């Protein structure tokens, strides 16, 4: 039997499917062969039919130098050993370098040539701006707990907050604009994936 990897799947509630003909992306299947043991594979579907983003933890030597170099400018003064991931975003390769722990966590995502895609910074959930708190409360009506919050900035200038919310025993991911407009509501599911042991 091949290795058993924990998978984090994010899908719209009520939607199923892994993509055309039930296929996982080739990127995911290829890169689990060099995945770091004990770190989860992450899958994200924003339409419930195919994965717009996959992420596999890898060792540093897999990540191109131009991407590793992005860390200093995007996440200055972060302590701790960096962690690395290989991603596929909308069908194209990318890499992530994460530094720090807890509320000091910061990650930069870049293309292999060093083009920055986004920066993700942990935020204290108790300090969220009023419009975001009001939007979440209006959607979930007070019966929830925000367990994690991330400020996500793209190089196109867009900024959102990504929130992990615990409600009625379920984990929900909300992507909220700084104005308070809710852009995505995703359900986070634990899962297991079995792939060939190469």
Instruction: Specify the pLDDT at position 180.
Output: 95
**Domain range for 86:** 4-194
- Quote the pTM value: 0.83
**Measured distance CA(194)–CA(186) in Å, rounded:** 24
Query: Looking at per-residue confidence, does 149 or 5 come out higher?
Result: 149
Split into its structural domains, the chain has a count of 1
Tokens read off for 88: 């596929």
pLDDT score for 10: 39
* pLDDT tens by residue, 12-46: 333 333 444 455 666 666 666 667 776 778 888 88
Q: Could you tell me the CATH number of the domain that includes residue 140?
A: 3.10.450.360
pLDDT at 27: 65
Give the per-residue pLDDT at 2.
40
Mind giving me the DSSP string for 40-87?
A: PEEEE-SSSSS-SEEEEEE-GGGS-HHHHTHHHHHSTT--S--EEEEE
- Mean of pLDDT values over 166-181: 95
pLDDT tens, position by position, 61-118: 999 999 999 998 899 888 888 999 999 998 899 999 999 999 999 999 999 999 999 9
């Amino acid at each position: 039997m091949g290795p058993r990897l924990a998978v984090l799947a994010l899908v719209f509630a009520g939607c199923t499917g892994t993509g055309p003909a039930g296929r996982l992306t080739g990127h995911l299947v290829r890169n689990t062969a060099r995945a770091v043991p004990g770190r989860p594979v992450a899958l994200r579907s924003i339409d419930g039919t195919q994965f717009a983003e996959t992420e596999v933890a890898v060792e540093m030597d897999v990540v191109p130098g131009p991407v590793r170099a992005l860390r200093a400018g995007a996440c200055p003064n972060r302590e701790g050993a960096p962690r690395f991931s290989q991603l596929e975003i909308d069908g194209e390769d990318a890499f992530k370098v994460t530094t720090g722990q807890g509320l000091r966590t910061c990650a930069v995502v870049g293309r292999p040539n060093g083009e920055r895609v986004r920066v993700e910074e942990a935020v204290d959930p108790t300090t969220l701006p009023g419009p975001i708190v009001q939007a979440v409360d209006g959607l979930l009506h007070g019966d929830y707990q925000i367990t994690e919050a991330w400020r996500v900035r793209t190089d196109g200038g867009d900024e959102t907050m990504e929130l992990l919310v615990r409600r009625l025993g379920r984990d929900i991911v909300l992507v909220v604009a700084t104005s308070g407009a809710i852009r995505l509501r995703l359900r986070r599911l634990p899962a297991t994936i079995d792939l060939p042991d190469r």
